[in-house]
Amino acid sequence: MKLEKRFGKSLVFSNMLKAETGYLIDTYNEKNIIENDFHLLKDVTLIRFRPIRHWTDSKIRAFAFCCVVSMILIRVMQWMTEQAGYKMSTTVLKDELTDIQEVVMIYSPADAERKITERSAVQKKLWKIFELEKIEKQLSLHK
C-alpha cells in the first residue's frame, strides 16, 4: 500500500536551498538531454565513438572532435524537422536521408544523365526542410 502511494513520483535532492522548485525540476529534467547525447555518441548505427582506432593524442582529439560535430549536426537536423512540425528520432532521420540516392545513367562517353531516386513522402518533406534542391545542381558529376 505504501508503494502504491509513491508510484510515479520522484524525489529530487538538491543543495540549492534558495532555488525555486520549478528551476530545480527543469534542471533535473535537462540532464536527460545530455544523457541522450552520450547515447547518441555511442550508437553504432550513427556516430560510433567507440572503439577508437587511433594511437596518437592529436588523432584521438581529431576523431573526438569529428564525433561531436556529427552529433551537433544530427541534433540541428532533428531540431529543424521539429520546427517544421515533423518529430522523428535521429535513427529514422538518418535512415530516411540514407535512402535518397543519386543515379548516373551513362548513355555514351559524352552523354550522361544524373537523377535522384524516387523519394517517399517523408523524404520529400526532408528534401524541402533541408533545402536540398539548392545544392542538387552542384552535386552534378556530369553536365
Least confident of 26-35, 65-74, 134-143: 134-143
Query: What domain range includes position 64?
Result: 16-88
Are 29 and 62 in a shared domain?
A: yes
Asked if residue 11 is part of any domain, the answer here is no
Is the pLDDT at 87 greater than 80, yes or no? yes
% of the chain at pLDDT higher than 70: 92
Domain assignment of residue 2, yes or no? no
Our count of domains for the chain comes to 2
Most confident of 22-26, 57-61, 78-82, 115-119: 78-82
Domain identity same for 106 and 75: no
User: Is residue 84 domain-shared with residue 115, that is, in the same domain?
Assistant: no
User: Does one domain contain both 33 and 53?
Assistant: yes
Question: Residue type at 31?
Answer: K
Residues 6+ apart with CB under 8 A from 119: 100, 127
Indicate if 24 and 62 belong to the same structural domain: yes
Between these two residues, 70 and 140, which has the higher pLDDT value?
Answer: 70
Whether residue 41 is found in the same domain as residue 84: yes
Q: Which class for 126: exposed (0-12), middle (13-18), buried (19 or more C-beta within 10 A)? A: buried
